[in-house]
A and B are shown apart, each in its own frame.
Chain A
Amino acid sequence: MRIALLADLHANLEALDACLVHAAAQGAERLVFLGDLVGYGADPVAVVARVRDLMGQGAIVLRGNHDEAALRGPIGFSGLAAEAMRWTQARLDPETKAFLAELPFTHEEEDRLYTHADGANPPAWNYVTQAADARRSLAGTTARLTFCGHTHVPALFGLTATDKLLHHTPLPDLMLPLLQPRRWLAVIGAVGQPRDGNPAACYGLLDTDKAECGWLRVPYDIEAAARKIRAAELPEALAARLFLGM
């Protein structure tokens, strides 16, 4: 089975739709949303509506720190994120808020754990950027494969037979083996706000039969997404960064 993993949508409807079309063409039969549906972008209500609809058709949807902040307020958020979150909060209707409030932190199936950030302590929203972070996450969980987002930067971490932790930066559009019986932690890049220097939307594709995972890059209408951010009078930097993937 092929599973599409979508993280950090951040209210970017154009990027989300491009990824969904792409994933369908790749034969993805299952969708997993790894959190942060809202924040930064100009389409929080439409993106949540789209995801909720897909959940009705069997998609798994998890909570991210921005989804939580949409309910509790931007506690501990930096300037731009906080400003965008106050804007977002003002626009969410009660129904959308109720949906976000129900989202779980994690989901496990077979040998896989899905979560937004460090799987060892999901409510702490720790970033997995370094080998040490990945080791902490893997040590605190039991699933063979962990999939998360949160950093907006694609990465693959693995534990070798000698208990070394390797850190690999996956190239775009290439399926990598998640070799049995080793444990792997895949950080999926962002659909709605990539930060690895590549402005194309990023989602993960897992092939469970072949035990392979790819980080697929999808071009989308950045102009349209940026235009909406500017029209909403959200900070200009949030529009500009989409073109740079930073």
Chain B
Amino acid sequence: MHPVKRGQVIGGFSLGEVVHRGGMAVLHAATHPEHDLPILVKLPLLAEGDDPAAIVGFEMEQMILPRLDGPHVPRCLGVGHEPLPWIAMERIEGETLLPLLDRLPLPIDEIVETGALIAEALCALHRQGVVHLDVKPGNLMRTDERIIMLDFGLSHHAQLPDLMAEEFRLPYGSAPYMAPEQIMGVRGDPASDLFAVGAFLYALTTGRNPFGDPQHMGAMKRRLWWDPPPPRALRPDCPPWLQEIILRNLEVEPARRHPTAAQLGFDLRHPEQVRHSARAARLKRDAWTDRIRRRFHPDHQPKLRRNAIAMAQSGAPIIAVALDLDEVTPELSAAMRGMVTQIMAILPGARVACVNVLRTHLLRPDMALDDAGRNKHLQRLLELRHWSAALKLPEERLTHHVLEGTSAAAGVLEYAQVNRVDHIILGARADSLGRRVLGSVAAEIARDAACSVTVVRLRPG
């Protein structure tokens, strides 16, 4: 039983009331003289006959949480093991996503918004070398602006010893959301978290779990060959692009899902640019002969294990090419395309977003039509497509975006931030009075961007 009482001090933290009691751990509100913020202390529930793997998971979290950073995880305030293992962390004000399950199916807009926020949080986690491996509504805390990931007891950290790796008697995770490779004992592939997002979005869309909630290993393995009904079969108003995203991330082979959480988030934020494969059009499950073949035919066994290089998140960056369509010369244009082509050749998972900022004027109410009466937004989009055609990239690796803003730099920076862009490529403007007086757009972007910035400049002469 739980030996700790209210009022007890552990590691300098004074325990208050129990705010949550889960299957493996109990959470106390707490205070500390040096920390002026709401605090939780997490303690494992240890009792005779308990699964000792629970303490292994708790120790895993003790190693991982202090090494995580950023707005998508609770801040760790300390860990220790006396008189029993404990973790002190920031208490997040918010609610988990569990209540969403009480009002299924959700409106499409809400599904997409929720999915994009989860992808953003996962992106932040994966960039820190951590795969969560237990993405489910109860571990996702929603605040006003974002999703915060909770509970790293099953997680894998690329640089730390994996205490859970030896616990292979059972695949630990949550049955409705667990990826096929995780069921087969593969830990450490970020795509496993994307499968969980796919399963959760499927449930939000259709009102049911794609693979039910199986309770034993045999039933859990069924997802290696058994495909769920396509969402559109259960919910006719599910848009094809959303079905495309959901089914892509429910692919059995990790390599067939989105290459990164950032790319999943990108597609959810730009539905009109999602490329439709056969997945988008499906209205029925596969024929039973296909399922039987997948289950028994030795040539149809999925590739569940990827090497570390294939899993590396850095191999699939989002690259934004910011084009100033009014100023770019044919020579600079060619030089920029050359730069993009080189990067795309090295990184097969990378994708390019061609971006142009349509400047709006604060003083002059903006007119959507130019002097000749054409739609300016559409015209810019056509020009972007014309520019990128020479890149000869397949449709799924290329998107086009016309943004509106009062400044080109601010527009590009905001776009890069929201879409988790990894690398901005832009051209240096020709030397001009404007650049000398106002400073260059490139300099402002290079200074303020949260990612790498390449400025393509032509050698004079």
Contact = CB atoms under 8 A, between A and B. Distances in A.
Interface of A: 156, 158, 160-162, 164-166, 168, 171, 174, 176-177, 179-182
Given A166-B166, A180-B81, A181-B81, A161 B159 contact: no
A171 B160 CA distance: 9
Please indicate which of the listed interface residues A156, A165, A166 has the most CB atoms of chain B within 10 Å of its own CB.
Answer: A166
22 contacts: A158-B161, A160-B56, A160-B166, A161-B55, A161-B56, A162-B52, A162-B53, A162-B55, A162-B56, A162-B167, A164-B166, A166-B162, A166-B165, A168-B160, A168-B162, A171-B159, A176-B161, A177-B63, A179-B59, A179-B81, A180-B80, A181-B81
B76 to A, nearest CB: 12
A158 B163 contact: yes
B62 interface: yes
Contact of B63 (A165, A174, A179, A181): A179
A179 B167 contact: no
A240 B53 CA distance: 47
A161 B161 contact: no
Contacts of A181: 81
A180 B11 CA distance: 14
A33 to B, nearest CB: 26
Most buried by A among B53, B63, B160, B167: B160
A180 B165 CA distance: 19
Kindly list the 10 A-B residue pairs having the minimum CB-CB distance in the complex, ordered from nearest.
Answer: A164-B166, A168-B161, A161-B55, A180-B81, A162-B52, A177-B63, A160-B163, A161-B56, A181-B81, A160-B56
A179 B64 CA distance: 11
Given A162-B55, A166-B165, 11 more contacts: A160-B167, A161-B55, A161-B56, A161-B59, A162-B53, A162-B56, A164-B166, A166-B161, A168-B160, A176-B159, A180-B81
Contacts of B161: 156, 158, 166, 168, 176
Interface in B341-382: none
Contacts of B56: 160-162
Contact of B160 (A162, A164, A176, A182): A176
A157 B156 CA distance: 17
A171 to B, nearest CB: 6
A165 B63 CA distance: 17
Interface in B127-179: 159-163, 165-167
Contact of A161 (B52, B80, B160, B162): B52
Contacts of B159: 171, 174, 176
B43 to A, nearest CB: 15
